Structure 1
Amino acid sequence: MSKVLVLNASYEPLNLTSWRRAVVLLLKGKAEQLEYNGKFIYTDFPLPTVIRLRYYVRVPYKEIPLTRRNILERDSNRCQYCGYKGDQLTLDHVIPRSRGGGDSWENMVAACVRCNVKKGSRTPKEAEMPLARPPRRPYSSLHFELARHIQGERNQEWRKYVIGIP
């Protein structure tokens, strides 16, 4: 059926789980239901879409690797200059390497070949090519999975619990 967003006791997103696992957590009293989508499992038991754990779970910090795939996924496989969406994307350094720009989340964006060549070794301001949105480091490894599940009209009730997903 559908996925359920699990929040820590502090309301930060922890993971996505199946609706069955979410129901078990609710029935055992380990979680509380925050949102539901109007569907019901039983007469007075709505199908949850967001649950919050009643106790705090300590989560170790996990660094998200800077890879081509992760940058393209962060940018929704769109050129950050013209909006082209497709397979022929490259990575562009906002501050060119020739000017001291390095490989970092804050300096690399997805760009189509045409825009990458047009920009060359200039900054976006010099090339008069503004970015659709400034590049930044994703907040958590859950970021990409949440972004996929929030696309379109699905799971819109999750947006108020998730930071940094357009």
Structure 2
Amino acid sequence: MKTLVLNASYEPLGVISTRRAVMLVLAGKASTVAGNGAQLHSRSLVLDAPSVVLLNQFIKVPHRRIPLTRKSALERYGHVCAYCGKYGDTLDHVIPRARGGTHTWDNVVIACFRCNNVKSDRLLTELGWKLPFELKEPHLNMASLISMRWNDPNWEEFTEPWRRHELQLAG
């Protein structure tokens, strides 16, 4: 079981095990905001298992960049080929590295095996292809990342306002 952790400002910080969340609550470092319906029993105590906990003190979180890895790119683009729209599972450099392209968010997309082989080390203009979107570094906050990785409907009321706020800033 997983538990959503909220900062004292109600900003989503991350997801931890329910066991760890119970330890935070018992230590007085967090309080339960929502339960998941299950109960945890010890020798002398019965607790409702937390689904969402709120930290009692504000934690300052530095802005972090999302590293460009195969896994992070697949998550960002949802395993969809940028060229044909079908299932994609390979990284492709829009401007090939052999032609001076960089391994950065503004030059990497996901491609299916077929499109990646057809494109090879050519430019999109040479093939007459166009990308259906603009390439740029992702500007995801923790709420967006949590929503992508853990699709828990009980957490939407806590993550959705922060996702909307992030979209307004990026827009």
Give the 4+ runs in structure 1 shifted more than 6 A.
none
Matches within 5 A, 1:9-158: 9-41=8-40, 45-85=47-87, 87=89, 89-93=90-94, 96=95, 103-116=103-116, 117=118, 121-122=123-124, 127=129, 130-131=132-133, 136-139=137-140, 147-150=148-151, 155-158=152-155
Q: Are the equivalent residues in 2 in contact too, given 1:90–1:113 (CA < 8 A)?
A: no
Paired residue type of 2:33: L
Give SS of 2:124's match: coil
Q: Are the equivalent residues in 1 in contact too, given 2:29–2:55 (CA < 8 A)?
A: yes
Give the CA deviation at 1:74: 2.2
The 2-side partners of 1:66 and 1:24 are apart by: 34
The 1-side partners of 2:58 and 2:112 are apart by: 43
* Superposition RMSD in Å: 3.9
**TM-score where L is the length of structure 1:** 0.65
Give SS of 2:148's match: helix
The 2-side partners of 1:60 and 1:40 are apart by: 35
How many residue pairs end up in the alignment? Answer: 153
Greater helix proportion: 2
Once the two structures are superposed, residues 69-103 of structure 1 have per-residue CA deviations (whole angstroms, 9 ceiling, x without a partner) of 4222322333234443354x23242xx469x9754
Q: Percent identity?
A: 38
The 1-side partners of 2:84 and 2:33 are apart by: 39
**TM-score where L is the length of structure 2:** 0.63
The 1-side partners of 2:61 and 2:130 are apart by: 42
> Which protein is bigger by CA-based radius of gyration?
2
Give SS of 1:36's match: strand
For structure 2, which runs of at least 5 residues remain unmatched after alignment?
167-171
For structure 1, which runs of at least 5 residues remain unmatched after alignment?
none
